[in-house]
Amino acid sequence: MHKGLLLVVSAPSAGGKGTILGELFKQNSNLCLSISATTRFPRQGEENGKQYFFVSREEFQELVDNGKMLEYAEYVGNCYGTPRAPVESWRAKGKDVVLEIDVQGGAQIKQLVPDCVSVFIVPPSFAVLEERLRKRGTEDEETIQKRMDTARQELEHAKYYDYLVINDRLEEAVADMQAILRSEKRKYSRNYDFAERM
Ligand code: 5GP
């Protein structure tokens, strides 16, 4: 059996990646979502172990020091990291794994796992992004401004990604993601063992 695909998905905060990925998961039973650890406080409705593992700074540092993180980064004053063990065990079982991480994490994964597939999701404009961020109503004004500044900086990194998906119409963005996934899985380099056996 060959290893599952590692799919890195980055987007500015409130860029709509959660909704797109939700649809993608409905359509692909072989996909697993990595749950990150973070030091940020849970938003209303978020549960420990569901959206994130919510940990203290000390706990986070311990995970890093013990080599338990595949990658980690600081984003708008909080730490976020991908726990290594579930990703490795899923991939070893042939499951495809999605990492929903920021551009710093994306760069670390590209170095570590060169055959990962990276997708950058962008909103149709910054105005739409700001509107979505406000509508969500989970951040105060200062944080919204910080996240908008961060989004502008993040966009600079989009060029290092394999694919760019524009999140204007949801169905189209989901279809784009599905197409990326399907064609990446059909790459010869991921299937040579099958061809050899034949
Ligand atoms: P939020 O606070 O809005 O949930 O996430 C803020 C940013 O952190 C988003 O860009 C999100 O993709 C990113 N992020 C979430 N988990 C991780 C992680 O494990 N590693 C890294 N590097 N970024 C993450």
- Give pLDDT tens digits for 5-23: 999 999 987 777 889 999 9
In the chain, the amino acid numbered 66 is: N
Looking at the chain, how many residues does it have? 198
Give the pLDDT confidence score for residue 9 in this predicted structure.
97
pLDDT single digits (tens) 22-60 = 999 999 999 999 999 999 999 999 999 999 999 999 999
Prediction pTM value? 0.93
Pocket test of ligand 1: the residue of 102, 108, 111 to mutate, having most ligand atoms within 8 Å of its CB, is 102
| 101 CA to centre of ligand 1 in angstroms | 5
- Please name the residue whose Cα sits nearest to atom 20 of ligand 1: 81
Give the pLDDT confidence score for residue 138 in this predicted structure.
80
Give the pLDDT confidence score for residue 136 in this predicted structure.
80
Please give the share of the chain, as a percent, with pLDDT higher than 70.
Answer: 99
Using 50, 70 and 90 to split pLDDT, how confident is the model at 157?
very high
pLDDT greater than 90 at residue 139: no
Lowest mean pLDDT among 100-109, 115-124, 131-140: 131-140
